[in-house]
Copies of this chain bind each other. A is one copy, B any other.
């Protein structure tokens, strides 16, 4: 049995709470947040606390707060005896090095407000300053996911940058697609099977192998025709930039 305290009320805190709750090997001792209303997701109301200067002992304190708040909130827990682990991809271990036993418990996933997803296959990227603390985090992680790995702060930051490309920027491409549809009164949901399959292709292909389209083929006629259709200046610039990048990557010349 491993005991945890969750600090935070956002998407990560909520998803971890539900995942921890499912394991008979994990004892959630407390969930702490500033705002009692934001703690409504905690079904067992006895676990709720708004007191950050608590004295409850636990093996692990999960600090699932926004990047900006990590250091300040961690300060309130620096006296605790358990492992104090933040959940940020972009924040180094150094940000909480004043803690007695600093650690990182970073789930490499995008979380949506109000949507609880399975963490079963989500990489949990762990870091600690010694093997004992690392093993405690591993014990906790193994209860949630098949993919638990030690990742140092530099690797984790790199993963986070790559995640920005495949998640944040990909989603922005979806935004562009939806705006193009909206401008022509076309239902964006028609593109959803394509979006799903674009992601699924990576089950069997590398992104380089999976690349298709007019830029990849060097199909100047279609590239030209598309630029006739796109009226928005920003979308035109993006279309040209990314088409040229794909052409260059795949060895086609303008």
Residues of A bordering B, CB below 8 Å: 67-68, 90, 108-110, 112, 115, 117, 121-123, 147, 149, 154-155, 157-178, 180-181, 184, 186, 188, 190-208, 210-216, 219, 221-222, 225-226, 229-230, 234, 238-239, 241-242, 245-246, 249
Contact = CB atoms under 8 A, between A and B. Distances in A.
B210 A171 contact: yes
A225 B89 CA distance: 12
Contact of A162 (B155, B163, B191): B191
B194 A167 contact: yes
A77 to B, nearest CB: 22
Query: How many of these chains are in the complex?
Result: 2
A108 B211 contact: no
A108 B194 contact: yes
Contacts of A238: 169, 241, 245
Say what secondary structure dominates the interface of chain A: helix
Nearest to A160: B226
Contacts of A195: 166-167, 170, 199, 202
A181 B205 contact: no
Contacts of A190: 108, 123, 147, 149, 159
A141 B61 CA distance: 56
Contacts of A212: 110, 167-168, 171
A112 B210 contact: yes
A175 B249 contact: yes
Given A123-B193, A158-B180, A192-B203, 17 more contacts: A68-B221, A110-B194, A121-B193, A158-B184, A159-B191, A161-B226, A162-B188, A164-B215, A166-B174, A166-B194, A166-B195, A166-B198, A167-B194, A167-B198, A171-B210, A178-B208, A241-B241
